């Protein structure tokens, strides 16, 4: 079963719902020349100033993969060429008092430049062993 199959993705959602999670985020680990694309949250955002991987909410009726492609394009202007693998998930408290599960995928983009930001105030291509201020969950994810 591939990570892009409907059965695999349905299993991720089913497991999350069994864990009581009702809010989902799809995230892209975009790599280029051994560097990882990070984007920084605007200062007035929830968790402002924190660096993260491109990610966003899975909307009602949308698949995890559809959200992955849409959010990557919206946040960075980049187009995913291939979903290379599922890296895992982590949970975090959201701004609405609940818990969000973030599903993380390794992706290859068609072209790595230009990065066009719409929801963040900066981006950088970081080496895995020289990361700026990211959450512990993102740091552990990148270490995988």
Dist CA 56 CA 16 (whole Å): 17
Tens digit of each residue's pLDDT (9 = 90 or more) over 2-52: 988 999 999 999 999 999 998 999 999 999 989 999 999 999 887 889 999
What is 6-143's CATH number? 3.90.79.10
Dist CA 66 CA 59 (whole Å): 9
Assess contact for 50 and 107: CB atoms under 8 A: no
Question: Tokens in use for 29?
Answer: 């680990």
List the beta bridge partners of residue 57: 25
Instruction: Please say whether the dihedral angle defined by the alpha carbons of residues 47, 52, 120 and 3, taken in this order, is positive or negative.
Output: negative
pTM over 0.75: yes
Tens digit of each residue's pLDDT (9 = 90 or more) over 79-97: 999 999 999 999 988 878 8
Question: Tokens in use for 37?
Answer: 């694309």
Sequence-separated (6 or more) residues with CB below 8 Å from residue 98: 22, 23
């Amino acid at each position: 079963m591939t990570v892009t199959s409907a059965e695999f993705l349905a299993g991720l959602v089913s497991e999350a719902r069994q864990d009581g999670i009702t809010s989902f985020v799809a995230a892209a680990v975009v790599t280029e020349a051994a560097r990882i694309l990070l984007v920084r949250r605007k200062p007035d955002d929830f968790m402002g100033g924190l660096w993260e991987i491109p990610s966003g909410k899975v909307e009602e009726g949308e698949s995890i993969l559809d959200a992955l492609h849409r959010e990557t394009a919206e946040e960075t202007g980049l187009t995913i060429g291939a979903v290379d693998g599922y890296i895992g998930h982590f949970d975090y408290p959201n701004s609405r008092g609940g818990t969000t599960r973030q599903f993380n995928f390794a992706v290859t983009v068609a072209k790595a430049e230009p990065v066009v930001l719409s929801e963040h105030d900066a981006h950088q291509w970081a080496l895995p062993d020289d990361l700026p201020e990211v959450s512990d969950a993102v740091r552990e994810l990148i270490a995988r």
